[in-house]
Amino acid sequence: MSTSSEKIAFISGANRGIGFETAKNLASLGITVVIGARDMSKGETAAKQLQALGYKVEAIHYDADQAKSADSVFEHLNKHYGKLDILVNNAGINQEQLMGSNNSSTVSKEILQQTFHSNLFAVIELTQKLLPLIKKSAAGRIVNLSSILGSLTLHSMPNSPIDPAKAFAYNASKTALNVYTVHLAHELKDTNIKVNSAHPGWVKTELGGDNAPMEVADSYKTSVQLATLDSNGPNGGFFHDGEPLPW
């Protein structure tokens, strides 16, 4: 069981990419980090890398596609720590070409369902399951990994900077995730919990591709900022690197 002063973080999909860098940098602040991984061998490898740096990190199984996976995460965190200070909903998928096409008239029901399940419904399920533990924190923080591609304002403006990126299922799932951020933050506004959406940047990950301008090593910054906000920090916002983004 953790002490009241020890901070505990859970990050979904954190065995690689943005999630791994977020885990590494939160752990470097003295926070105990629990990595959620679909493939436990990869999760254990990631945890051992960070343990070798002297960080308090462990890996547990979490698969958004498996029934009761959120339950098992809750049971582990409750048994071993008794609370949760930081939840980073990092795991997500994309099954479309992000740049240079508009598939709004052709996107399949299957891709819409799979994308919304991973990027929205599973996030809501996990957050709702872990919320009782977050309410035990003196300063709970929930960070939802969104994307600038979820911004309706930017998509609809003339000469939009994201005009070429019209992957409908992915973009719509992130817009909906932002709605969840706003609503949950409003519900929790009189508590010690803050809920915000993060756009990490266009990052050279499997999802972002090789043409992305941001290196993976720099992709943690927005998530870590929002995960470690002080009591005067924002609630119910959408941010990249400390700057607010339009919804």
Helices (H), the chain: 17-27, 40-51, 69-80, 109-116, 122-134, 152-156, 168-187, 221-227
Segment holding 245, helix H or strand E: none
Q: Which residue has the tokens 């906000």?
A: 229
- 70 phi, psi to nearest 5 deg: -65, -35
> Catalytic site residue 170?
yes
pLDDT tens column, 192-242:
999 999 999 764 455 544 554 456 666 789 999 999 999 999 999 999 999
Give how far Cα 33 sits from Cα of 8, 11, 51, 111, 145, Å: 6, 8, 10, 32, 17
- State residue 217's pLDDT score: 64
- State residue 45's pLDDT score: 98
Calculate the average pLDDT of the chain.
93
The residues that bridge with 102 in the sheet, in sequence order, are: 166
Q: What is the pLDDT averaged over residues 69-98?
A: 96
Catalytic residue selected from 62, 170, 180, 220? 170
C-alpha 32, offset from chain centre: 17
- Which pTM was predicted? 0.94
DSSP line for 97-150: --SSEE-TTT--HHHHHHHHIIIIIHHHHHHHHHHHHHTTSSS-EEEEE--GGG
Q: What is the pLDDT averaged over residues 138-155?
A: 96
Gap between the Cα atoms of 77 and 71, Å rounded: 10
Cβ(144)–Cβ(197) below 8 Å: yes
pLDDT tens column, 5-49:
899 999 999 999 999 999 999 999 999 999 999 999 999 999 999
Least confident of 10-24, 96-110, 120-134, 212-226: 212-226
Q: What is the pLDDT averaged over residues 49-70?
A: 97
Cβ(127)–Cβ(177) below 8 Å: no
- State residue 100's pLDDT score: 87
Domains and CATH numbers, the chain: 8-244 (3.40.50.720)
Q: What is the pLDDT averaged over residues 155-164?
A: 91
Q: How far apart are the first and last CA of the chain?
A: 39
